[in-house]
Amino acid sequence: MQLELEKAGQEYIRNRNELTLTIGLTQNGHRSIFAFRSPDAQYVTVPDERTLYEIGSFSKVYTTSVLSILVSQGVLSFTDTIADYFPDLNIRSEVGEITVFDLATHTSGLSGDGVVLARMISEAVSTEDPTRFTYYADYTKAHLDEELEAAELVRPRGSGWEYSRTGLSVLGHILEVASGQTFESLLKRHLGDPLGLVDTAYTLSTDQSSRLARGYYADGTPSPNWYWDIMLPQGGIRSTMADMLTFIEANLAHDDSELTTALRFAQETEFEWPAGSDPANTPYGSTAGFRQAIGWWNLDHGHGPVSQHAGATMSYQSFGALHRKSGTGLVAMTSSAENLQDVMEFPQMGQRLIDFAVDRASAVDGGSGVTP
């Protein structure tokens, strides 16, 4: 398996400029980590397990994991509605009826970027200046309120799947209102401290900032980082390979602790598709049987569900996946100024690697052993 990971990493970096890549595999608690950089790189250095990356939309899995924990503690319910937490807004009744479960499973009927965010993105992209792609930092609570008041559902609530960044941002704010804490405080209290995730955060210390991987243009100019306001819960977390593998291993645990039970509940609780409503567009074009869990995407290539998610920002991508039956997990993270050209190829590489690892693990002692 290690040879396959090494080969995949070398192939991925071969024709890409100023790119870093790190791939981590965990099988029943045994870790292997591989680090790469572009062969002719002048500016990037070889990453290690403590190098920080923006993880983009994999942040949604952390957010929905916090949700599952808070629900288990009675702080809120999956049946709570948007109207419960935004009582002063003038919103359509069908928007107000959207539940926390709908938001966590992308079945609310809200569109991907809404009206307000879509407008901000369009205006920024029209400048063709990446330094002005600051829409996530510029998008505040006032914009979210405006979004909800303008929202019209693209399909009835609960009738199908529509990946929604604005929906997860609404969910993140609901967690803050229900708990009376900021999202970063919730992340630290319920996941960071219990699991020892010392480098999983949005706000970085001086030391952490010095370990943040960067993308570089040909002239050596660093590509922009992305910054966040109220949309932080859906895409703004930074993390390391060490922390990401720890999070994956926590999701593979089999004990009956409150934390493990809540994490497992998020993986295993899936949206039940109404007849004829299977999603037309599955994550990264996969042909595997797709089921939307709470945050996680469950895809099955024949050995049972592999829970996974991908993420991308201006200069970074991430991929994390786990297969409970074989105790196998995989994480991949990359940085590059040209990153957004690979928003399909990178997660597809991650999916191929986790599927291969699961195939190998399932061939050894019925899936209970560690592959060589």
Tell me: the pLDDT tens digits for 20-60?
999 999 999 999 999 999 999 999 999 999 999 999 999 99
Q: What is the pLDDT of residues 177-202, one digit of tens each?
A: 999 999 999 999 999 999 999 999 99
Model pLDDT, residue 204 = 98
What's residue 42's pLDDT?
A: 95
Residue 369 has pLDDT above 90, yes or no: no
CA atoms within 13 Å, Cβ hemisphere of 158? 8
Mean pLDDT value of segment 330-334: 98
DSSP state of 273: P
Which runs of consecutive H residues, i.e. helices, occur in the chain?
Answer: 2-13, 59-72, 82-85, 93-96, 100-104, 116-125, 135-138, 141-150, 165-179, 183-187, 193-195, 206-210, 232-235, 241-252, 258-268, 345-362
Give the residue-averaged pLDDT of 137-142. 97
Amino acid found at 120: M
pLDDT for the residue 273 = 80
Cα distance from N-terminal residue to C-terminal residue, the chain: 6
286 — pLDDT class (breaks 50, 70, 90): low
Q: Helix 141-150 crosses helix 116-125 at what angle (to 10 degrees)?
A: 120
What pLDDT was estimated at residue 276?
65
The mean per-residue pLDDT over the stretch 12-18 comes to: 94
d(CA 303, CA 152): 39
What would the mean pLDDT of 266-276 be, rounded to a whole number? 86
For 293-313, the pLDDT digits (tens) are: 999 999 988 889 999 999 999
Band of residue 364 on the pLDDT scale cut at 50, 70, 90:
confident
> The whole model's pTM is what?
0.95
Q: Give the bridge partners for 323, in sequence order.
A: 328
